[in-house]
Amino acid sequence: MSLESRLAELPARPGVYLMKNEKGEIIYIGKAKLLNKRVRSYFDGREKNGHRAAQLMLPHICDIEWIITESEAEALILEANLITKHFPFYNVRQKDDKHFPYLMLTMQEQFPRLRITRHSGNDKNLYFGPFVSSHYMRLLLDLIPQLFKLRECKLKFPLTPNLARKINPCLNFHIGRCEAPCVKMVSEEVYLKGVREAKLLLEGKRDDILAEWEKDMKAAAAEMRFEDATKIRDRIKAVQASFAKQNADVANTELSLDVVAIVRAKKDGDSSISVATVVIIEYRNGVIFDRRHFHLESRLEHSESEILGEFLPQWYLSVPKENLPREIALEYLLGDVQNGLGTDSDEEISEELPQTLSHKTSSSEPAIENDEQQAFEEFLSKLAGRRVLVGVPLRGDKIGYLRIARANAEMLLVELQAKAAKYDEMNNSIFELQRQLKLQNPPYCFECFDISHLGGTEPVASMIRFVNGKPSKSEYRKYKVKIAVGGDDFGSMHEILTRRLTRLLSENAKLPDLLVMDGGKGQVDVAFSVLEELNLTDIPVIGLAKRLEEIVFPREKPSILLKRNNPALQLLQRARDEAHRFAINFQRERRKKTLR
């Protein structure tokens, strides 16, 4: 069926459309208030409606499907779910596409515990997160058993009679991190009181729990239970110390707000791709609760507003409803092709506009909104089971919060670009090495070997592996020379290379793209003889002689000298020095053991 006939069948209903290429692969997913108008506008050249994407996608669109929904808000939910499931080529996507971790209180268990999970479920357990900062998550994971004596074991309660007779309290009981419900050292009622307090802390209600503890501490002191009062005081101090860095308090202690900022730029080396950093700063109960950041990539000329309009529904679908804010402050109106208020993305947010969020709270307040923003607000309100306000702050405190979020986004985007530049530099050194050595394939994975001994005693060898221009330390290996004796460097190299390559062949593991010897012509010829014996002469081998830093080849091929600032030579030097360091350290360890 032709595209023209498919376009003619489009209904005047809200829904989601899926564009496919000639292979039937989904390349783009979008939503619409009216499917017929939205989809047809891709093909009629109306760039004023913001469909610059059509120029890029149009040659690849061979079929269109759609799913009708009852409302635009339902279309928004369906679009977010389908993008997460299919990851279309032209949709905005997270660069790492990973699942951020949650903390889960296992309320389905008789004695709940706190553990890490990668997915939130629709069950009786309580989920907190997702956490972008693993440091903050680990802090809570360590602090909560310490404060509330929650168990960290994987025992399943109720225990079987046989297990109950055999079990003894573990180390956590003896160091005061657990009250040992496994041996009935604590009642279920008292244990669940600790669980309720842990829940308050995880929800960010620190002031509530601190006030309750202070009341308990004073009561214990009045009853002359000074030991109990001291324990409660220590818990209060532990919470205050652990969250001291988060006390960026705001005036409104009831504030439940997410502040969202975005900065984007063209990808270095590929102007057809935009990279963007989104920062979400979460304020809960008047303090900064968390800062989340996401690196996004788009192959279309999306504006900041369009990127947020596509990304935010996907993000908030993953957030448990009890963690959703009451307000969300944005820099731009969602889906506004002219970047929200029409200002350049590099201009500062104006302070001259009236102080409010731009949602309609009364007829007297100014309202800057559009259909997509209203649909997003309805979508969030449905997720949360209560109203969630979404808008562009125009003046006042929220402008300051947005400036903080934007400064964070700018900083993180610069860091991302610096990492990308460093990665490109590494890639350049790999390609330069391929060019200088006249290799058939780029040496993305190469291994460097070195022999070390002291006057012929305790001979050892090292093997280090570089992958994509960087050390892969988990794949380093060190060897004790078993057959070659004395200071026989050539015999040692023959033995170690034979052991290494034979092991790789027996395990059917990936062979290196290049072998590098720390040494000259003799070491390289020995290495080549091993390759001949194992029928692996398709693996190139070179040596790096230290005196002149010349690159040596096997047999009669002449050596070459590269300039000191050549990135290929510098890459080889880093690998050679790392192999030498690794071998020397191992040799010293062996000598120390011998002296003992």
Residue 245 has pLDDT above 50, yes or no: no
Which amino acid is present at 525? D
Residue 436 has pLDDT above 80, yes or no: yes
Helix 371-384 crosses helix 72-86 at what angle (to 10 degrees)? Answer: 80
What is this structure's pTM?
Answer: 0.47
Tokens matching residue 255: 């504030």
Q: Is the pLDDT higher at 554 or at 133?
A: 554
Residue 370: predicted pLDDT: 63
pLDDT tens digits, one per residue of 487-504: 788 999 999 999 999 999
Q: Are residues 137 and 131 in contact, defined by beta-carbon separation less than 8 angstroms?
A: yes
Query: How many Cα atoms occupy the beta-carbon half-sphere of 47 within 13 Å?
Result: 6
Q: Is the pLDDT higher at 240 or at 167?
A: 167
Q: Cα dihedral sign for 307, 93, 289, 74? A: positive
CA angle at residue 453 from 447 to 454, to 5 degrees? Answer: 155
Q: For residue 574, how far is the Cα from the chain centroid?
A: 29
Residue 275: predicted pLDDT: 84
Cα gap 402→397, rounded to integer Å? 9
Q: What is the mean pLDDT of the chain?
A: 80
In whole angstroms, how far apart are CA 210 and each of 226, 233, 237, 348?
18, 10, 10, 39
Determine how β-strand 477-480 pairs with β-strand 514-517: unpaired
Determine how β-strand 560-561 pairs with β-strand 26-32: unpaired
Q: Are residues 457 and 593 in contact, defined by beta-carbon separation less than 8 angstroms?
A: no
Q: For residue 590, how far is the Cα from the chain centroid?
A: 40
Q: What is the mean pLDDT of residues 152-172?
A: 83
Query: Tokens 């030498």 belong to which residue?
Result: 580
Tokens matching residue 245: 């860095």
pLDDT tens digits, one per residue of 108-159: 888 998 888 877 666 788 887 666 556 667 777 888 888 888 888 888 888 8
Which of 566, 580, 380 shows the shortest CA–CA distance to 462? Answer: 580
Determine how β-strand 389-391 pairs with β-strand 102-105: unpaired
Q: Cα dihedral sign for 84, 87, 91, 97? A: positive
Residue 242: predicted pLDDT: 61
Query: Tokens 């989104």 belong to which residue?
Result: 278
Residue 249: predicted pLDDT: 45
Taking the CA atoms of the chain, what radius of gyration do you get in angstroms? 31
Residue 378 has pLDDT above 70, yes or no: yes
3-class SS at 252?
coil
Q: Choose the weakest-confidence range: 71-85, 90-104, 231-245.
A: 90-104
pLDDT band at residue 531 under the 50/70/90 scheme: very high
Residue 359: predicted pLDDT: 44
pLDDT band at residue 348 under the 50/70/90 scheme: very low
Q: Is the pLDDT higher at 336 or at 462?
A: 462
Supply the DSSP symbol for 101: P
Cα gap 330→255, rounded to integer Å? 16
Residue 224: predicted pLDDT: 86
Q: Are residues 137 and 290 in contact, defined by beta-carbon separation less than 8 angstroms?
A: no
In whole angstroms, how far apart are CA 442 and each of 200, 474, 513, 535?
55, 22, 8, 21
Query: How many Cα atoms occupy the beta-carbon half-sphere of 348 within 13 Å?
Result: 10
Q: What is the mean pLDDT of residues 359-383?
A: 64
Helix (H) or strand (E) holding 289: strand 287-298
Burial class (CB in 10 A: 0-12, 13-18, 19+), 501: buried
